[in-house]
């Protein structure tokens, strides 16, 4: 079993990280067991755009897609999917750039009979979500680790603590939450992500239909200033 922690994913914000662009543009990263990249994209209803070599080319193709849209109604989201080794067999990694969610009902369908783990950001704005699905059921979901939902919102508590996602607001403010979420995804899948494999992978690409914004019950504003001081505020949606 993997022992990943947030410290293993400090690279995601480095200058050489292929993931920096994803954080800036918005992304969804999903890992699913036993579903091929081709099956994944077909289930998402995505329009195939061929194969690209490496993370840099995936980013270039997303930028080209934005130029094609030229400020219009889209599409804006490009997904790249590839096979990766993980726990109990083959997994697919899918990275969608330019969006923060898959089409409605997709994750339930994708995870039927298997496990799927997903995390996302809406790019520059303070909304970051984590989802764990098992056999079509949303088991645990959170934005801020102290506010969880799903059918088993507390089942991951011990793992969350081990990777650095503290269960008190004070604990959670001491760690890079995005790095810790990467580590939590690894704990649940056995898939270790690193700079070079992501940069060199062969991705099957496709344009993803735009999904409506995820309905939210609360958001947490989490800002780190130039001196390393973190400030956050939790806001409930009473509407």
Over the stretch 173-222, which tens digit does the pLDDT of each residue have?
688 999 999 999 999 999 999 999 998 999 999 999 865 545 545 555 55
In the structure encoding, which two tokens stand for residue 35, read together?
Answer: 């579903």
pLDDT value of position 133: 98
> Would you say residue 14 has pLDDT above 90?
no
Question: How high does pLDDT run on average in the chain?
Answer: 87
pLDDT level of residue 127 (50, 70, 90 thresholds): confident
Strands, E assignment, the chain: 27-33, 47-53, 77-86, 89-97, 115-121, 128-134, 137-142, 148-149, 202-208, 218-224, 230-236
Average pLDDT over residues 94-108: 93
Closest by CA position to 94, among listed 12, 197, 205? 205
pLDDT value of position 71: 63
Q: How many CB atoms lie within 10 A of CB 89?
A: 10
pLDDT value of position 227: 44
CB 99 within 8 A of CB 210: yes
> Would you say residue 228 has pLDDT above 50?
no
With H, G, I as helix, E, B as strand and everything else as coil, classify residue 48. Answer: strand
Domain ranges of the chain: 6-236
pLDDT level of residue 225 (50, 70, 90 thresholds): very low
pLDDT level of residue 17 (50, 70, 90 thresholds): confident
The model's pLDDT over 38-63, given as tens digits with 9 standing for 90+, comes to 999 999 999 999 999 999 999 999 99
CB 112 within 8 A of CB 106: no
Q: Which of 20-24, 47-51, 126-130, 234-238 has the lowest mean pLDDT?
A: 234-238
CB 30 within 8 A of CB 131: no
Greatest extent of the chain over all pairs of C-alpha atoms, in Å: 47
pLDDT value of position 169: 73
């Amino acid at each position: 079993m993997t022992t990943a922690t947030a410290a293993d994913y400090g690279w995601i914000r480095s200058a050489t990280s292929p993931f920096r662009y994803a954080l800036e543009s918005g992304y969804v990263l999903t890992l699913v067991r036993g579903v091929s990249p081709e099956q994944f994209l077909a289930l998402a209803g995505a329009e195939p755009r061929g194969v690209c070599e490496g993370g840099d080319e995936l980013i270039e193709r997303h930028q080209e897609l934005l130029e094609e849209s030229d400020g219009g109604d889209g599409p804006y989201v490009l997904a790249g999917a590839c096979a990766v080794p993980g726990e109990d067999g083959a997994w697919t990694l899918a990275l969608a750039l330019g969006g923060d969610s898959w089409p409605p009902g997709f994750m339930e369908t994708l995870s039927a009979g298997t496990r799927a783990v997903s995390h996302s950001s809406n790019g520059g704005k303070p909304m970051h979500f984590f989802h764990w699905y098992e056999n079509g059921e949303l088991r645990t979901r959170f934005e801020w680790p102290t506010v969880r939902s799903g059918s088993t919102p507390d089942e991951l508590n011990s793992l969350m603590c081990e990777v650095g996602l503290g269960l008190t607001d004070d604990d959670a403010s001491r760690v890079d939450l995005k790095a810790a979420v990467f580590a939590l995804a690894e704990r649940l899948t056995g898939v270790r992500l690193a700079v070079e494999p992501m940069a060199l992978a062969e991705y099957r690409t496709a344009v993803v239909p735009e999904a409506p914004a995820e309905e939210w019950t609360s958001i947490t504003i989490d800002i780190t200033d130039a001196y390393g001081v973190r400030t956050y505020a939790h806001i409930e949606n009473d509407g």
